[in-house]
Protein backbone atom coordinates (compact mmCIF):
# COMPACT_ATOMS: atom_id res chain seq x y z
CA UNK A 1 0.00 0.00 0.00
CA UNK A 2 1.52 3.30 -1.06
CA UNK A 3 1.45 6.37 1.22
CA UNK A 4 -1.61 8.61 1.03
CA UNK A 5 -2.93 11.76 2.63
CA UNK A 6 -6.02 11.73 4.82
CA UNK A 7 -8.42 14.55 5.61
CA UNK A 8 -11.76 14.51 7.43
CA UNK A 9 -14.34 16.65 5.66
CA UNK A 10 -16.53 18.88 7.80
CA UNK A 11 -18.99 19.97 5.11
CA UNK A 12 -20.18 18.75 1.71
CA UNK A 13 -18.60 21.82 0.09
CA UNK A 14 -15.33 21.08 1.84
CA UNK A 15 -15.42 17.45 0.72
CA UNK A 16 -16.01 18.47 -2.90
CA UNK A 17 -13.17 20.97 -2.77
CA UNK A 18 -10.72 18.42 -1.37
CA UNK A 19 -11.77 15.84 -3.94
CA UNK A 20 -10.62 17.96 -6.85
CA UNK A 21 -7.03 16.90 -6.21
CA UNK A 22 -5.81 14.20 -8.56
CA UNK A 23 -6.38 10.57 -7.54
CA UNK A 24 -8.71 11.30 -4.62
CA UNK A 25 -11.24 8.85 -3.21
CA UNK A 26 -14.09 9.41 -0.76
CA UNK A 27 -14.07 7.24 2.37
CA UNK A 28 -17.35 6.43 4.15
CA UNK A 29 -17.73 3.02 5.82
CA UNK A 30 -14.63 1.77 4.02
CA UNK A 31 -15.69 -1.88 4.02
CA UNK A 32 -14.75 -2.30 0.36
CA UNK A 33 -12.21 0.48 -0.23
CA UNK A 34 -9.88 -0.65 2.52
CA UNK A 35 -9.91 -4.23 1.25
CA UNK A 36 -9.10 -3.12 -2.31
CA UNK A 37 -6.29 -0.91 -1.02
CA UNK A 38 -4.89 -3.82 0.97
CA UNK A 39 -4.54 -6.05 -2.09
CA UNK A 40 -3.46 -3.31 -4.46
CA UNK A 41 -6.56 -2.80 -6.60
CA UNK A 42 -7.03 0.71 -5.16
CA UNK A 43 -4.07 2.95 -4.33
CA UNK A 44 -5.35 6.52 -4.03
CA UNK A 45 -3.04 9.40 -3.26
CA UNK A 46 -5.68 11.16 -1.16
CA UNK A 47 -8.54 10.00 1.05
CA UNK A 48 -11.38 12.36 1.96
CA UNK A 49 -13.30 10.99 4.94
CA UNK A 50 -16.99 11.91 4.60
CA UNK A 51 -18.17 9.57 7.35
CA UNK A 52 -19.30 12.35 9.70
CA UNK A 53 -20.81 14.82 7.26
CA UNK A 54 -24.00 16.29 8.69
CA UNK A 55 -27.38 15.61 7.10
CA UNK A 56 -26.24 12.65 4.99
CA UNK A 57 -27.26 9.79 7.27
CA UNK A 58 -30.95 10.43 7.80
CA UNK A 59 -34.14 9.02 6.31
CA UNK A 60 -36.86 11.56 5.65
CA UNK A 61 -40.08 11.96 3.72
CA UNK A 62 -39.59 13.25 0.18
CA UNK A 63 -41.99 14.80 -2.32
CA UNK A 64 -43.65 11.51 -3.20
CA UNK A 65 -41.72 8.95 -1.21
CA UNK A 66 -38.60 8.70 0.96
CA UNK A 67 -35.11 10.16 0.76
CA UNK A 68 -32.30 8.03 2.21
CA UNK A 69 -29.04 9.79 3.05
CA UNK A 70 -25.96 8.33 1.39
CA UNK A 71 -24.33 7.75 4.78
CA UNK A 72 -27.25 5.75 6.11
CA UNK A 73 -25.88 2.49 7.52
CA UNK A 74 -27.33 -0.54 5.77
CA UNK A 75 -28.86 -2.10 8.87
CA UNK A 76 -30.40 1.22 9.93
CA UNK A 77 -32.00 1.63 6.51
CA UNK A 78 -33.32 -1.93 6.35
CA UNK A 79 -34.85 -1.71 9.84
CA UNK A 80 -36.41 1.71 9.41
CA UNK A 81 -40.19 1.21 9.74
CA UNK A 82 -40.94 3.34 6.67
CA UNK A 83 -38.58 1.33 4.49
CA UNK A 84 -39.60 -2.06 5.88
CA UNK A 85 -43.33 -1.43 5.42
CA UNK A 86 -43.43 0.68 2.25
CA UNK A 87 -40.44 -0.78 0.37
CA UNK A 88 -40.01 -4.35 1.68
CA UNK A 89 -38.00 -5.33 -1.41
CA UNK A 90 -35.25 -2.92 -0.36
CA UNK A 91 -35.30 -3.97 3.29
CA UNK A 92 -35.08 -7.64 2.28
CA UNK A 93 -32.27 -7.01 -0.20
CA UNK A 94 -30.19 -5.16 2.38
CA UNK A 95 -30.67 -7.83 5.04
CA UNK A 96 -29.45 -10.48 2.58
CA UNK A 97 -26.29 -8.52 1.82
CA UNK A 98 -22.93 -9.21 3.48
CA UNK A 99 -22.91 -9.93 7.22
CA UNK A 100 -24.60 -8.08 10.12
CA UNK A 101 -21.22 -6.74 11.19
CA UNK A 102 -20.50 -5.28 7.75
CA UNK A 103 -24.05 -3.90 7.44
CA UNK A 104 -23.51 -2.00 10.70
CA UNK A 105 -20.63 -0.12 9.04
CA UNK A 106 -21.35 -0.09 5.31
CA UNK A 107 -23.35 2.81 3.87
CA UNK A 108 -25.98 3.11 1.15
CA UNK A 109 -23.75 5.31 -0.98
CA UNK A 110 -20.76 3.05 -0.51
CA UNK A 111 -22.76 -0.01 -1.47
CA UNK A 112 -23.75 1.63 -4.74
CA UNK A 113 -20.13 2.12 -5.77
CA UNK A 114 -19.07 -1.49 -5.17
CA UNK A 115 -16.76 -2.66 -7.92
CA UNK A 116 -18.19 -4.76 -10.71
CA UNK A 117 -16.05 -7.87 -10.49
CA UNK A 118 -15.08 -11.37 -11.49
CA UNK A 119 -12.45 -13.80 -10.07
CA UNK A 120 -9.78 -12.30 -12.31
CA UNK A 121 -10.46 -8.75 -11.12
CA UNK A 122 -9.67 -9.95 -7.59
CA UNK A 123 -6.69 -12.09 -8.61
CA UNK A 124 -3.52 -11.73 -6.56
CA UNK A 125 -1.46 -12.37 -9.70
CA UNK A 126 -1.63 -10.09 -12.77
CA UNK A 127 -4.04 -11.46 -15.38
CA UNK A 128 -5.82 -9.82 -18.31
CA UNK A 129 -8.68 -7.74 -16.88
CA UNK A 130 -9.98 -4.61 -18.53
CA UNK A 131 -11.41 -3.46 -15.21
CA UNK A 132 -7.96 -3.41 -13.57
CA UNK A 133 -5.77 -2.76 -16.59
CA UNK A 134 -7.73 -1.17 -19.45
CA UNK A 135 -6.90 -2.75 -22.78
CA UNK A 136 -5.37 -5.90 -21.29
CA UNK A 137 -8.27 -8.16 -22.27
CA UNK A 138 -10.75 -10.32 -20.38
CA UNK A 139 -9.44 -13.58 -18.92
CA UNK A 140 -12.94 -14.57 -17.83
CA UNK A 141 -14.32 -14.62 -21.37
CA UNK A 142 -12.94 -18.14 -21.95
CA UNK A 143 -11.97 -18.86 -18.35
CA UNK A 144 -13.79 -19.38 -15.06
CA UNK A 145 -17.07 -17.73 -16.01
CA UNK A 146 -19.69 -20.01 -14.47
CA UNK A 147 -20.92 -17.24 -12.11
CA UNK A 148 -20.73 -14.36 -14.57
CA UNK A 149 -22.94 -12.43 -16.99
CA UNK A 150 -25.79 -13.71 -19.15
CA UNK A 151 -26.97 -10.25 -20.28
CA UNK A 152 -25.21 -7.25 -21.76
CA UNK A 153 -21.68 -8.64 -21.87
CA UNK A 154 -19.10 -8.15 -24.60
CA UNK A 155 -15.70 -9.70 -25.26
CA UNK A 156 -14.21 -6.81 -23.27
CA UNK A 157 -15.92 -7.74 -19.99
CA UNK A 158 -18.26 -10.43 -18.67
CA UNK A 159 -18.23 -9.40 -14.99
CA UNK A 160 -21.29 -8.81 -12.80
CA UNK A 161 -22.30 -6.13 -10.33
CA UNK A 162 -22.65 -7.89 -6.93
CA UNK A 163 -24.74 -5.41 -4.91
CA UNK A 164 -28.04 -6.65 -3.48
CA UNK A 165 -29.57 -3.26 -2.55
CA UNK A 166 -28.99 -1.82 -6.02
CA UNK A 167 -31.16 -4.54 -7.56
CA UNK A 168 -34.03 -3.44 -5.35
CA UNK A 169 -33.32 0.21 -6.14
CA UNK A 170 -33.43 -0.52 -9.87
CA UNK A 171 -36.72 -2.33 -9.43
CA UNK A 172 -38.14 0.65 -7.51
CA UNK A 173 -36.98 3.17 -10.15
CA UNK A 174 -34.97 4.92 -7.44
CA UNK A 175 -32.96 8.04 -8.22
CA UNK A 176 -29.38 8.61 -7.03
CA UNK A 177 -28.67 12.20 -6.04
CA UNK A 178 -25.17 13.65 -6.34
CA UNK A 179 -23.20 16.85 -5.78
CA UNK A 180 -20.25 18.07 -7.85
CA UNK A 181 -18.42 21.40 -8.19
CA UNK A 182 -19.81 21.67 -11.74
CA UNK A 183 -23.33 20.89 -10.57
CA UNK A 184 -25.11 17.92 -9.06
CA UNK A 185 -27.56 15.66 -10.84
CA UNK A 186 -30.06 12.86 -10.40
CA UNK A 187 -29.15 9.48 -11.91
CA UNK A 188 -31.66 6.64 -12.37
CA UNK A 189 -30.55 3.57 -10.44
CA UNK A 190 -31.09 1.55 -13.62
CA UNK A 191 -28.43 3.64 -15.40
CA UNK A 192 -25.90 4.17 -12.61
CA UNK A 193 -23.62 1.27 -13.53
CA UNK A 194 -22.02 1.01 -16.95
CA UNK A 195 -22.24 -1.77 -19.51
CA UNK A 196 -19.06 -2.93 -21.28
CA UNK A 197 -20.32 -1.65 -24.64
CA UNK A 198 -20.32 1.83 -23.07
CA UNK A 199 -17.04 1.71 -21.14
CA UNK A 200 -15.50 -1.71 -20.33
CA UNK A 201 -13.10 -0.32 -17.73
CA UNK A 202 -15.66 1.82 -15.88
CA UNK A 203 -17.78 0.69 -12.95
CA UNK A 204 -20.33 3.49 -12.86
CA UNK A 205 -21.14 6.87 -14.39
CA UNK A 206 -19.82 9.05 -11.55
CA UNK A 207 -17.46 11.85 -12.58
CA UNK A 208 -14.19 12.42 -10.77
CA UNK A 209 -14.96 14.18 -7.50
CA UNK A 210 -18.71 13.52 -7.72
CA UNK A 211 -20.30 12.67 -4.38
CA UNK A 212 -23.47 10.63 -3.80
CA UNK A 213 -25.58 12.47 -1.22
CA UNK A 214 -28.91 10.62 -1.22
CA UNK A 215 -31.15 7.99 -2.76
CA UNK A 216 -34.73 8.97 -3.57
CA UNK A 217 -37.50 6.39 -3.53
CA UNK A 218 -40.80 7.13 -5.23
CA UNK A 219 -44.28 6.03 -4.31
CA UNK A 220 -44.45 3.14 -1.82
CA UNK A 221 -44.30 -0.40 -3.20
CA UNK A 222 -45.69 -2.56 -0.39
CA UNK A 223 -46.30 -5.49 -2.73
CA UNK A 224 -42.64 -6.19 -3.42
CA UNK A 225 -40.09 -8.88 -2.64
CA UNK A 226 -36.45 -9.86 -3.10
CA UNK A 227 -35.09 -13.37 -3.66
CA UNK A 228 -31.39 -14.22 -3.52
CA UNK A 229 -29.95 -17.56 -4.65
CA UNK A 230 -26.46 -18.32 -3.31
CA UNK A 231 -24.28 -21.29 -2.53
CA UNK A 232 -24.44 -20.71 1.21
CA UNK A 233 -26.94 -18.87 3.38
CA UNK A 234 -24.75 -16.13 4.80
CA UNK A 235 -22.04 -13.73 3.65
CA UNK A 236 -22.09 -14.76 0.02
CA UNK A 237 -22.66 -12.95 -3.26
CA UNK A 238 -25.64 -14.11 -5.28
CA UNK A 239 -25.49 -16.58 -8.11
CA UNK A 240 -28.62 -14.76 -9.24
CA UNK A 241 -31.15 -12.56 -7.48
CA UNK A 242 -34.45 -10.95 -8.38
CA UNK A 243 -36.51 -8.00 -7.16
CA UNK A 244 -40.20 -7.64 -7.96
CA UNK A 245 -42.79 -4.94 -7.31
CA UNK A 246 -46.39 -5.26 -8.48
CA UNK A 247 -49.72 -3.47 -8.41
CA UNK A 248 -53.04 -5.28 -8.80
CA UNK A 249 -56.34 -3.67 -9.71
CA UNK A 250 -59.66 -5.48 -10.10
CA UNK A 251 -57.96 -8.85 -9.94
CA UNK A 252 -55.35 -8.29 -12.64
CA UNK A 253 -51.78 -7.01 -12.68
CA UNK A 254 -51.84 -3.32 -13.57
CA UNK A 255 -48.10 -2.70 -13.18
CA UNK A 256 -45.06 -4.92 -12.69
CA UNK A 257 -41.37 -4.20 -12.20
CA UNK A 258 -38.73 -6.94 -12.30
CA UNK A 259 -34.96 -6.60 -11.90
CA UNK A 260 -32.28 -9.27 -11.85
CA UNK A 261 -28.98 -9.17 -9.99
CA UNK A 262 -25.63 -10.87 -10.64
CA UNK A 263 -26.45 -11.41 -14.31
CA UNK A 264 -24.85 -8.31 -15.87
CA UNK A 265 -22.65 -5.32 -15.12
CA UNK A 266 -25.74 -3.51 -13.85
CA UNK A 267 -29.08 -4.61 -12.40
CA UNK A 268 -31.02 -5.96 -15.34
CA UNK A 269 -34.63 -4.84 -15.74
CA UNK A 270 -36.91 -7.30 -17.55
CA UNK A 271 -38.90 -4.63 -19.37
CA UNK A 272 -40.42 -7.04 -21.89
CA UNK A 273 -41.66 -9.22 -19.04
CA UNK A 274 -43.09 -6.22 -17.24
CA UNK A 275 -45.16 -5.23 -20.27
CA UNK A 276 -46.31 -8.81 -20.86
CA UNK A 277 -47.52 -9.15 -17.25
CA UNK A 278 -49.94 -6.23 -17.40
CA UNK A 279 -53.52 -7.47 -17.62
CA UNK A 280 -52.78 -11.01 -16.42
CA UNK A 281 -54.43 -12.60 -13.41
CA UNK A 282 -52.00 -13.60 -10.64
CA UNK A 283 -51.49 -17.36 -10.68
CA UNK A 284 -52.55 -17.84 -14.28
CA UNK A 285 -50.36 -20.02 -16.55
CA UNK A 286 -49.61 -16.98 -18.71
CA UNK A 287 -47.60 -15.38 -15.90
CA UNK A 288 -44.66 -17.77 -16.33
CA UNK A 289 -44.65 -17.19 -20.08
CA UNK A 290 -44.63 -13.42 -19.49
CA UNK A 291 -41.59 -13.74 -17.22
CA UNK A 292 -39.85 -15.94 -19.80
CA UNK A 293 -40.29 -13.28 -22.48
CA UNK A 294 -37.69 -11.13 -20.73
CA UNK A 295 -34.98 -13.72 -21.36
CA UNK A 296 -35.02 -13.53 -25.14
CA UNK A 297 -31.84 -11.43 -25.07
CA UNK A 298 -29.99 -13.63 -22.58
CA UNK A 299 -26.75 -15.09 -23.90
CA UNK A 300 -24.74 -17.51 -21.77
CA UNK A 301 -20.99 -17.86 -21.62
CA UNK A 302 -19.21 -21.19 -22.03
CA UNK A 303 -19.93 -22.40 -18.48
CA UNK A 304 -23.01 -20.58 -17.20
CA UNK A 305 -26.01 -21.62 -19.29
CA UNK A 306 -27.57 -22.91 -16.05
CA UNK A 307 -28.02 -19.29 -14.92
CA UNK A 308 -30.75 -18.64 -17.49
CA UNK A 309 -33.36 -21.06 -16.04
CA UNK A 310 -32.12 -20.26 -12.54
CA UNK A 311 -32.64 -16.52 -13.06
CA UNK A 312 -36.03 -17.11 -14.70
CA UNK A 313 -37.22 -19.22 -11.77
CA UNK A 314 -35.83 -16.70 -9.28
CA UNK A 315 -37.70 -13.86 -11.01
CA UNK A 316 -40.86 -15.95 -10.96
CA UNK A 317 -40.47 -16.65 -7.24
CA UNK A 318 -39.90 -12.98 -6.44
CA UNK A 319 -43.02 -12.09 -8.42
CA UNK A 320 -45.08 -14.71 -6.58
CA UNK A 321 -43.92 -13.39 -3.20
CA UNK A 322 -44.70 -9.82 -4.21
CA UNK A 323 -48.20 -10.85 -5.29
CA UNK A 324 -48.71 -12.60 -1.94
CA UNK A 325 -47.63 -9.54 0.09
Domains of the chain: 1-54 (3.30.43.10), 224-324 (3.30.390.50)
Alpha helix (H) ranges present in 43-123? 74-79, 81-86, 88-95, 100-103, 108-112
The Cα-based distances of 2 to 5, 27, 222, 302 in angstroms read 10, 16, 48, 38
Describe the chain by its helix, strand, coil percentages, rounded to 5: 30, 20, 50
- What is the average per-residue pLDDT within 217-229? 98
The mean per-residue pLDDT over the stretch 50-79 comes to 93
Asked whether residue 256 carries a pLDDT value surpassing 80, the answer given is yes
- Give tens-digit pLDDT for 130-155: 999 999 999 999 999 999 999 999 99
Give the whole-angstrom CA distance, residue 169 versus residue 176.
9
Residue 159 has what pLDDT? 98
Residues 262-282: pLDDT tens digits?
999 999 999 999 999 999 999
Over range 65-79, report the average pLDDT: 97
pLDDT given at position 129: 97
Q: Which of 48, 54, 100 is nearest to 73 (CA)?
A: 100
- pLDDT beyond 90 at 3: no
Residues 95-133 pLDDT 10s: 999 999 999 999 999 999 999 999 999 888 889 999 999
Going by the DSSP 8-state scheme, the letter that residue 242 receives in this structure is E
pLDDT on residue 223: 98
| Beta carbons of 198 and 153 less than 8 angstroms apart | no
DSSP tally for the chain: helices H, then strands E: 11, 12
Give yes or no for residue 233 having a pLDDT over 80.
no
The pLDDT, as a whole number, for residue 42 is 84
pLDDT at 1: 62
Q: Mean pLDDT, the chain, as a whole number?
A: 95
- Give percent of the chain with pLDDT exceeding 90: 89
Measuring CA to CA, which residue among 101, 106, 55, 108 is closest to residue 83?
108
Amino acid sequence: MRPFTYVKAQTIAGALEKAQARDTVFLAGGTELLNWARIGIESPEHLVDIGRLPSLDGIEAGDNGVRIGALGRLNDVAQDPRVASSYPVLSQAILKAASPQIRNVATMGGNLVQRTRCPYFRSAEPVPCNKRAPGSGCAALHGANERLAIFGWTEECVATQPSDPVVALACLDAQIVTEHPDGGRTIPATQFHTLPAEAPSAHNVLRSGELITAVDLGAPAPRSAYVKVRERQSYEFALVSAAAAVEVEEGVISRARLALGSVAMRPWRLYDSERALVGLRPGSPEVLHAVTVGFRDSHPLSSNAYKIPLARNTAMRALELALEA
